[in-house]
Each structure stands twice: as structure tokens, then as C-alpha cells.
């Protein structure tokens, strides 16, 4: 076992601060990783502040991890010392249930092990995430990262990237499809880049007029302001697929109205409070309201390879570890273009 430096929240109403945690001695199937960069997902904030309930304190957030392999167990064949690798939102699953057999570990019927504030498969050992200098992960849950791309921009692909890639693939987005993305944040900007790379005609639906120019440079073909009721009326029946990334409470019916007949709206954003919708929002136009959770390990590797092929990374603002509390406030205020990523060298000093 080794003691490593990290940043943790000890209570929901306290800022994050330095914390020492114990990483296990790597076993035969384990990969030991020196973390170089870790993205800051809005889920880290929801969890550190216990906005969904069930957070295990102290919590060390961080599930957009990129680093270098520094040691491997005797039975590891997928990775070797010196490889650039990534770890996303999961660090293990049962490996035997129907979902795991279908490469859908995120829906493991025995409960997947989240990267932080969760339990390993022994259901006893608490997990601690990527706001730390090192992590030990079983080889199956360690992804290969291309050395072609700037790795600080790759880190957010491990959550924001796969969370938006997976529904685009599942609903079979192809050339010419009309896809709208709600909310231009960490997930939203990846959804725009990925949907555009798949050939869709992409519309950014945002409440922030100052983001219009950015949407264009990210690859969106249209930008529509959601705060303008005339706009929302005009856009009725426009889209085949809507990816909703909004982190705060909002009215789903307003967006369902923008779907074409048989259209699908996929929720990936997780506002802390439940929303209400009337059945008529779905009945007229035979619309579907769906949800999607990250993606399986096989699909995450496919997404990383797709991004390497298409030169896609996240637009990031690199921060030092001790700037994390300010970064949380700025993320909530929508003041990030478009993902904070922590340079872990700042924690090693």
C-alpha cells in the first residue's frame, strides 16, 4: 500500500482541501498509474456537494483521468510501463452478468464500481478518484490513449466524451440527421464536436448568447437562443435527436416540442430535482424521452480511437489543484470554455 496526495471534500458544505489517501499494492491484474491530468466534471460538483444524496465522505472526485503507467502486475497484457492511459467513471464491475457480457459494464446488474465515492467489487472498499497523484486500476478498466493528441485535452473524453458519444451511436446518428444539443458546457461541447464528426447537422440550443461564436468554431451549424420564446416557437418539430446536457432544473416539455415525429430526446444531464412532464408532450408525434449513462469500456476505447482519428479533443482551461474550489464556482456560473482540467504536477510539489 502507498500513501498518495489528493484533494477531498470532507463534508457537503466544505470546500475541497489536501487529503492523504491509501492506494492498494498493485495485484497481478492491476495497472499503477501516475496521474498527469484530471478533468473537472459537473458530476464531481453534484457529488462533492451531495446534491444527489448518497455521497460517501470524504470524497476525492475526478473521473477524467489521463496518466502514465508506472507498474503493471504479472498477469497484465494490455498495458506496459510508460504507456499513456486513461481511466473514466468506472474502475470495475462483476464481469459475469448479462450487461457485462454485452460490454455494458455501466449497467452491471451487480453494481459497477464507480471511480470515486463508490465501492470496489468486494462492496467494502471505498473508491477515491483522480484528484490525486496516483491510482491503481484493474487492467480491463484502463483505456489506451493515443500519443497523437494533447493529453490534457484527452482527459475530458473519459467522461464528457463517452457520455455524448454513446447516445449518438446508440441512436445511430448519421450524415444529414438533425441533432440538437442543449447546454454548451463540458458535455455539450463534446456532443457538438462528435455529432458534427459523424456528419449530423448540429444545432446548439443555449441560454447564453455570448457562446454563439464558440458554437460555430466547435462545429455547430446553427446556434439558437433558448431564452427567446419566438425562437422556441419557430423551431417546433425540427430535430431527429436532442441530447440534453443541462445540469440544473429545466422544463423538458419545451425541448420535446422541438422534436420531429418519432424523434428522441436523450437526457444525459442530471439535475438534482425531479421534473414533471405531461403525457401529451410525448403522445403527439410519438416522441421518446430517454436517458444514457456514460458508456461501456469497449465503446469508450472505440470513442478514444474515433477522437484520435478525427483529431478531436476537449477545449480545456488547465488549472492547478488549489484552484479547484474557484473552478467549481466558475463551472456552475457557466464561466469555463469548456472544461477545467487539473495539472497534477501542481499537487506533486
CA distance 177 to 58: 44
253 sits near ligand NAP (criterion: CB under 6 A): no
The DSSP H or E segment spanning 21 is strand 17-23
Instruction: Report helix, strand or coil for 126.
Output: strand
- Please report how close the Cβ of residue 68 comes to ligand NAP at its closest, in angstroms: 25
**The one segment of 2-10, 14-22, 38-46, 229-237 that binds ligand NAP by CB under 6 A:** 38-46
50 sits near ligand NAP (criterion: CB under 6 A): no
Taking CB under 6 A as the rule, which mask of x and - marks residues 168-187 in contact with ligand NAP? ---------------xxxxx
One of 268, 303, 304, 308 touching ligand NAP (CB under 6 A): 268
- Residues interacting with Zn ion, by CB under 5 A? 41, 43, 159
CA distance 171 to 105: 19
- Please report how close the Cβ of residue 251 comes to ligand NAP at its closest, in angstroms: 10
- Please report how close the Cβ of residue 271 comes to ligand NAP at its closest, in angstroms: 6
One of 99, 121, 208, 325 touching ligand NAP (CB under 6 A): 208
13-32 residues in contact with ligand NAP (CB under 6 A) are: none
The DSSP H or E segment spanning 189 is helix 186-197
245 sits near ligand NAP (criterion: CB under 6 A): yes
CA distance 83 to 81: 6
46 sits near ligand NAP (criterion: CB under 6 A): yes
148-167 residues in contact with ligand NAP (CB under 6 A) are: 159-160, 163
DSSP 218: H
How far CA 184 is from CA of 2, 216, 329, in Å, comes to 40, 12, 17
**Cell numbers linked to 70:** 508506472
Cβ neighbors of 297 (< 8 A, separation 6 or more) are 90, 103, 105, 140, 141, 143
* Bond prior to 58 in cis (omega within 30° of 0): yes
Binding partner of residue 334 among Zn ion, ligand NAP, none, CB cut-off 5 to 8 Å per kind: ligand NAP
Binding site for ligand NAP (CB under 6 A): 41-43, 46, 159-160, 163, 183-188, 206-208, 211, 245-248, 250, 268-270, 292-294, 331, 334
Amino acid at each position: 500500500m502507498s500513501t498518495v496526495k489528493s484533494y477531498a471534500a470532507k463534508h457537503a458544505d466544505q470546500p475541497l482541501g489536501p487529503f492523504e489517501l491509501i492506494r492498494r499494492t498493485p495485484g497481478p491484474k492491476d495497472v499503477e498509474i501516475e496521474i498527469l491530468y484530471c478533468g473537472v466534471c459537473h458530476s464531481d460538483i453534484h457529488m462533492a456537494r451531495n446534491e444527489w444524496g448518497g455521497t460517501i465522505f470524504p470524497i476525492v472526485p475526478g473521473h477524467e483521468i489521463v496518466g502514465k503507467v508506472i507498474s503493471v502486475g504479472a498477469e497484465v497484457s494490455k498495458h506496459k510501463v510508460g504507456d499513456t492511459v486513461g481511466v473514466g467513471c468506472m474502475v470495475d464491475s462483476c464481469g459475469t452478468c448479462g450487461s457485462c457480457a454485452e460490454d455494458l459494464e455501466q449497467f452491471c446488474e451487480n453494481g459497477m464500481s464507480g471511480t470515486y465515492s463508490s465501492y470496489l467489487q468486494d462492496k467494502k472498499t471505498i473508491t477515491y478518484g483522480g484528484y490525486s497523484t496516483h491510482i491503481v486500476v484493474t487492467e480491463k478498466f484502463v483505456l489506451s490513449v493515443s500519443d497523437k493528441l494533447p493529453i490534457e485535452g484527452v482527459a475530458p473524453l473519459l467522461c464528457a466524451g463517452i457520455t455524448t458519444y454513446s447516445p449518438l451511436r446508440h441512436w445511430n446518428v448519421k450524415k444529414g440527421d438533425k441533432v440538437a444539443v442543449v447546454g454548451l458546457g463540458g458535455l455539450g461541447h463534446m456532443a457538438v464536436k462528435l455529432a458534427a464528426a459523424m456528419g449530423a447537422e448540429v444545432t446548439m440550443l443555449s441560454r447564453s448568447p455570448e457562446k454563439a461564436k464558440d458554437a460555430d468554431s466547435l462545429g455547430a451549424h446553427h446556434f439558437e437562443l433558448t431564452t427567446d420564446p419566438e425562437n422556441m416557437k419557430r423551431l417546433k418539430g425540427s430535430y431527429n435527436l436532442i441530447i440534453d446536457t443541462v445540469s440544473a432544473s429545466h422544463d423538458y416539455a419545451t425541448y420535446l416540442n422541438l422534436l420531429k415525429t418519432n424523434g428522441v430526446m436523450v437526457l444525459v444531464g442530471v439535475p438534482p430535482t425531479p421534473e414533471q412532464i405531461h403525457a401529451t408532450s410525448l403522445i403527439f408525434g410519438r416522441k421518446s424521452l430517454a436517458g444514457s449513462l456514460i458508456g461501456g469500456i469497449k465503446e469508450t476505447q472505440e470513442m478514444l480511437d474515433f477522437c484520435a482519428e478525427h483529431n478531436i479533443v476537449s477545449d480545456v482551461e488547465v488549472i492547478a489543484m488549489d484552484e479547484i474550489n474557484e473552478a467549481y464556482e466558475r463551472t456552475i456560473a457557466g464561466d469555463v470554455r469548456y472544461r477545467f482540467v487539473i495539472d497534477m504536477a501542481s499537487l506533486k510539489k
